[in-house]
Amino acid sequence: DAEITQSPRHKITETGRQVTLACHQTWNHNNMFWYRQDLGHGLRLIHYSYGVHDTNKGEVSDGYSVSRSNTEDLPLTLESAASSQTSVYFCASSDGIFPYEQYFGPGTRLTVT
């Protein structure tokens, strides 16, 4: 069955370190998204991509970057991790057909100490 996976599921890192969170989908979806989820907030969009070599900034993109070298993967990189980036991160993908249903991965819980 097609699916979307994220790794690692849990990560503890130190302030200032570079961290990369992986997202892999087997639906062959063109559209992929990264969100963060924090207490007291709805999910917030970090970056998104409409296809290979396409990337766009979302609402809370500062301190994050993504690259899209193939259809299946959209890794999220924290260039220099900060305590404010402690959060649960979700990757999602969707096809290009209205109403653009999004399918979410299981999430990565990141703690920056």
Partner 1 sequence: KNQVEQSPQSLIILEGKNCTLQCNYTVSPFSNLRWYKQDTGRGPVSLTIMTFSENTKSNGRYTATLDADTKQSSLHITASQLSDSASYICVVSSFDQAGTALIFGKGTTLSVSS
Residue 33 found at the interface with partner 1 (CB under 8 A)? yes
Q: How far is the CB of 58 from partner 1 (least distance, A)?
A: 7
Would you give the binding string for partner 1 spanning residues 58-87, x where CB under 8 A is met? x-----------------------------
Nearer to partner 1, 22 or 43 (CB): 43
> Which residue has 């980036």 as its token pair?
85
Using an 8 Å Cβ cutoff, are 108 and 46 in contact?
no
